Amino acid sequence: MKNKITFPILGIVLLAIVFILGNDNLFGNNDTVSDKDSPIVTLTASSYDKEIAAGLVLVDFWAPWCGPCRRMAPILEEVAKEYKESVKIGKLNVDNYQKFALGKGVEVLPTIIVYKDGKELTRIKGLASKEDLVKIITENTQK
């Protein structure tokens, strides 16, 4: 008799866990960048190619649960504001676009892919400093 009761309770608990972890809005984890005045563009699988097509673009592949991604966010925000005339910065939440991120070869978070006029120039895997990003921007806007 215990097994018949335990199994449904266990099932309900597991469903609750899946719901909580899968519900991005419950903890404020969604696609968008939190600051409405942010120059950072929120990317989706369908907007990706259009957004990287022209100019210098840095795309941050991130996840809300990723500690280094959270530390990277204010650095990207600062660079986006200071260099808004030179570079577009986009963010793609890999939790919402797992297959897309894997298709782009993203294996480490955060990963920043640098594009110029739609062509990939380089990748930064892991946490990057502001100086690293500024160097990439200045090197690729002087050409």
The yes-or-no answer on residue 55 being catalytic is: no
Contacts of 66 (CB under 8 A, 6+ apart): 109, 110
Confirm if 29 and 95 have CB atoms less than 8 A apart. yes
Please count the other Cβ atoms lying within 10 Å of the Cβ belonging to residue 69: 21
Looking at residue 17, its amino acid is I
The yes-or-no answer on residue 69 being catalytic is: yes
Predicted confidence at residue 8, as pLDDT, reads 59
Predicted confidence at residue 4, as pLDDT, reads 55
The catalytic position among 33, 59, 69, 124 is 69
Confirm if 5 and 13 have CB atoms less than 8 A apart. no
For the entire predicted model, the pTM comes to 0.76
Please count the other Cβ atoms lying within 10 Å of the Cβ belonging to residue 50: 10
Q: Average pLDDT by consecutive 10-residue portion of the chain (143 residues)? A: 54 50 46 68 97 98 97 97 96 97 97 98 97 97 74
Predicted confidence at residue 64, as pLDDT, reads 97
The catalytic position among 41, 66, 121, 134 is 66
Predicted confidence at residue 37, as pLDDT, reads 79
Predicted confidence at residue 15, as pLDDT, reads 47
Predicted confidence at residue 38, as pLDDT, reads 86
CA-wise closest residue to 76 among 19, 16, 33: 33
Instruction: Give me 120's structure tokens.
Output: 């990939």
